[in-house]
Amino acid sequence: MMNVNRYVLSRSLHFGQRLVSRSTRRAAKDAERLQQRRSIRTQSRNLAYAKDLFLGQVNKAEVFPYPEIGNEEVEEINQLVAPVEKFFSEEVDSAKIDREAKIPEETLNGLKELGLFGIMVPEEYGGLGLSNTVYARLAEITSLDGSIAVTLAAHQAIGLKGILIAGNEAQKQKYLPKLASGEHIAAFCLTEPGSGSDAASITTRATLSEDGKHYLINGSKFWISNGDMADVMTVFARTEVVVDGVKKDKISAFIVERAFGGVTSGKPEDKLGIRGSNTCEVSFDNVPVPVENVIGEVGGGFKVAMNILNSGRFSMGSSSAGMIKKLIELTSEYAATRKQFNKSLGEFGMIQEKFALMSINAFVMESMAYLTAGMMDRPGLPDCSLEAAMVKVFSSEGGWICTSEALQILGGLGYTKNYPYERYVRDCRILPIFEGTNEILRMYIALTGMQYAGKVLTGKIKEMKKGNIGLALGMVGKKLRASFGSSADLGLTGKDGVVHPSLAQSAKKFEQNVDLFGSTVESLLYRYGKTLVDEQLILKRVADVLINLYAMTAVLSRSSRSISIGLRNHDHEVLLTNTFCSDAFFKNNYWMTQLQKHSPENNDANIKKIAREVLENRAYVCSHPLERTF
């Protein structure tokens, strides 16, 4: 404890000095500093990487070279990470938190002292003012305890994010300092019993009082993380807005303090995992909220909610990676010492496979997370929501598989409460569910890209439908060339290549996939047009292919950099990259084959039919195998 305190003291001093030294010119200088630090092009960015993949193009300038942070920042991270790591290994008793379903007060205080409640809040509001990249690095450590990670994320990734990105100066001045220090805890209140993603079914209502100074909020919100302990909440409610002379209901965002009165929270939910985090129902009964507490403008809550949700997801990649890296340490210890038939467990192929799987997954997640964080840290306001969603989907599913495999290595031991594995498995199960379920995010990923590609390709497709011979011949020629084995060259390798030659083969596979993906998207748009929205199984595959493509990009970019600057063990990175890329290549090819017309690999019609019959029956349909008719 002493240690930590001393560290914090020195650190805040350090910050204080900085604060004083550039108190006035900050605003102007900040952007400049960021640019210099990252040494990245300064032109405004309107191109996004993932969207271009839908057109079969690799916008390599976006993702190569792999984003780096300046030496100054590396130092900062090292200073910050060590005490946090120490705190988590020494002061946090995860088993106890899980058992008692509560994070002890002293642990929370420790976290507050470390400044972990205001990682991304700018320094002028009392936070650490760190970049997305450093935030991701810290998330790697905080994820060692799921409950703490979720509590922190609910506080700063979504809870206070509304004020941070859409609040006005007065709101920031008033609320951020206390939130950053952890004196106040924030919560994000959007979900309702009858409303998940459907904004139309939000029933919580804010009505303007007669004197026009207050909104009165009525309604209740469900599954609010930190709901019980939050002092400041971002609440979304319907308000009446006049648009073009017509009264309409629109969503608005409000900052609600518990101190306003009328806020009650229900019993904490008894959950499968992340048991230490507090989740409960929060009810609002005529809560008076001053009009100046509206975030953004009245009726603009929808955009605020979308922005908050879209920006909070990228860190799950590094969180999962952090967790898996820890699990690899724990299980490899066991696999090396445990002996069966005079062989250690690690000598068995099936156990080796699990370690390879965990390593690859951790490596890919890490690469994706820091690539995305780096993109987000670039100057300007880059829209990385698509990339962030992909990181979330990939890492939440990978995390689930890896924790489960880690438990499997220990067998029965892993299943007991004597070891932390079962807790990791339980904690991990929430990842595919919260912050937008993976199903919904896949829809988002696929549809956003399809919308973008559709806009570009509409003219071409229309020409094709009209029977433009030139275009048709061009297509045929392209197909012929492809069938003669001339693979696509998107310029990743070769003369102006950005990928290191030792990864050339993987890069070729990636290019081939991208090329095929482009034509697949085109044919899907040709075939389904705007009715593609209803083809969820197709969209799922599109999203999966894209996620893999983005993952391939991330690992290629990362290990190219590692080789080039000679990072330790970069040969292992090459190995992981090549393994992952070839694996993803075949999976992508399979999925894209399924997306072809009349593909025998495609079982979608059957899948839908099975589901329909089951749902009609509302039970398993088949007769029992032991039943007889005579």
Partner 1 sequence: MKSARCLLQLQCLTLVGQSTRSAAQYGALLRAASSGRAPPPSSPPHQVFRHFHSGPARPKEQPIPAEFVNGDDKKRDRSLVAHDDLFERVAREVKTKATFNKVVDVFIKNDVRRRGHVEFIYAALKKMPEFGVERDLVVYNRLLDVFPKEVFVPRNFIQRMFNHYPRQQECGVQLLEQMENYGIMPNMETKVLLVQIFGEKGHPMRKFQRIMYWFPKFKHVNPFPVPKHLPEDPVDLARFSLTRIANDRDAKVTVHQLPCTDVTESGEQITLPHVVGIQSPSQVELLAKHNPNRPLFVEGPFPLWLRSKCVYYYVLRADPTPPEEKVEEPFDPERCLDYPLQLDLDLDRDLGDEESFDVEDLDEGPVFAMCMTGLGEQAVLNQWISGLQEDNPILGQVPTLFRLDAGPRELQGATDTESFHHHGPEPEYQKEERQPQQEPEVTLEEEPRTSQRMKR
**The two three-digit tokens of residue 425, written as one number:** 């498995």
Catalytic residues: 435
Task: Give 126 or 219: the residue with its C-beta nearer to partner 1.
Answer: 219
Q: Which of residues 107-146 bind partner 1 (CB under 8 A)?
A: none
Task: Give 463 or 571: the residue with its C-beta nearer to partner 1.
Answer: 463
> From the CB of 443, what's the least distance to partner 1, in Å?
4
Question: If you ran DSSP here, which 8-state letter would residue 213 be given?
Answer: S
Q: Point out which span in 177-185, 193-201, 273-281, 331-339 binds partner 1 (CB under 8 A).
A: 193-201
Q: CA dist 486 to 36, 489, 507, 515, Å?
A: 42, 9, 15, 12
> From the CB of 531, what's the least distance to partner 1, in Å?
5
Q: Is the peptide bond before 65 cis (omega within 30 degrees of 0)?
A: yes
The residue within the footprint of partner 1, chosen from 84, 443, 488, 499 (CB under 8 A), is 443
Alpha carbons 389 and 263: distance in angstroms, whole number:
33
**The two three-digit tokens of residue 89, written as one number:** 């290994």
Cross-strand pairs, 344: 339
Residue 95 contacts residue 88 (beta carbons within 8 Å): no
Q: Point out which span in 109-117, 204-212, 360-368, 440-448 binds partner 1 (CB under 8 A).
A: 440-448
> From the CB of 618, what's the least distance to partner 1, in Å?
6
On the CB side of 97, how many CA atoms lie within 13 Å of its CA? 29
Task: Give 324 or 546: the residue with its C-beta nearer to partner 1.
Answer: 546
Residue with tokens 């068995």: 348
344 CB-near residues (< 8 Å, 6+ apart): 335, 336, 337, 338
The residue within the footprint of partner 1, chosen from 14, 462, 481, 609 (CB under 8 A), is 462
Tell me if 621 contacts partner 1 by CB under 8 A. no
> From the CB of 610, what's the least distance to partner 1, in Å?
17
Which residue, among 287, 212, 220, has the nearest Cα to 254 in the 3D structure? 287
Alpha carbons 159 and 150: distance in angstroms, whole number:
11
94 CB-near residues (< 8 Å, 6+ apart): 144, 145, 146, 147, 420, 423
The residue within the footprint of partner 1, chosen from 306, 476, 565, 611 (CB under 8 A), is 306
Task: Give 371 or 443: the residue with its C-beta nearer to partner 1.
Answer: 443
Cross-strand pairs, 216: 207, 288
Tell me if 29 contacts partner 1 by CB under 8 A. no
For partner 1 (CB under 8 A), the number of binding residues is: 40
Q: Point out which span in 218-226, 426-434, 491-499, 526-534 binds partner 1 (CB under 8 A).
A: 526-534
Q: Point out which span in 115-123, 196-204, 328-336, 587-595 binds partner 1 (CB under 8 A).
A: 196-204
> From the CB of 605, what's the least distance to partner 1, in Å?
9
Tell me if 199 contacts partner 1 by CB under 8 A. yes
Characterize the bridge pairing of strands 343-344 and 263-265.
Answer: unpaired
Task: Give 455 or 568: the residue with its C-beta nearer to partner 1.
Answer: 455
Tell me if 465 contacts partner 1 by CB under 8 A. yes
Q: Which of residues 239-268 bind partner 1 (CB under 8 A)?
A: 250-251
Tell me if 568 contacts partner 1 by CB under 8 A. no
Please state, as a whole number, how many other Cβ atoms lie within 10 Å of the Cβ of residue 518: 21
> From the CB of 320, what's the least distance to partner 1, in Å?
20
Tell me if 451 contacts partner 1 by CB under 8 A. yes
Range 352-365 burial, b when 16+ CB lie within 10 A, else e: eebbebbbbbbbbb
Segment holding 574, helix H or strand E: helix 570-594
The runs of H, that is alpha helices, within 381-437 are: 385-410, 412-415, 421-428
> From the CB of 430, what's the least distance to partner 1, in Å?
17
Tell me if 200 contacts partner 1 by CB under 8 A. yes
Q: Which residues bind partner 1 (CB under 8 A)?
A: 190, 197-200, 250-251, 302, 305-306, 309, 436, 440-441, 443-444, 447-448, 450-451, 454-455, 458, 461-462, 465, 525-533, 597, 618, 623, 629-630
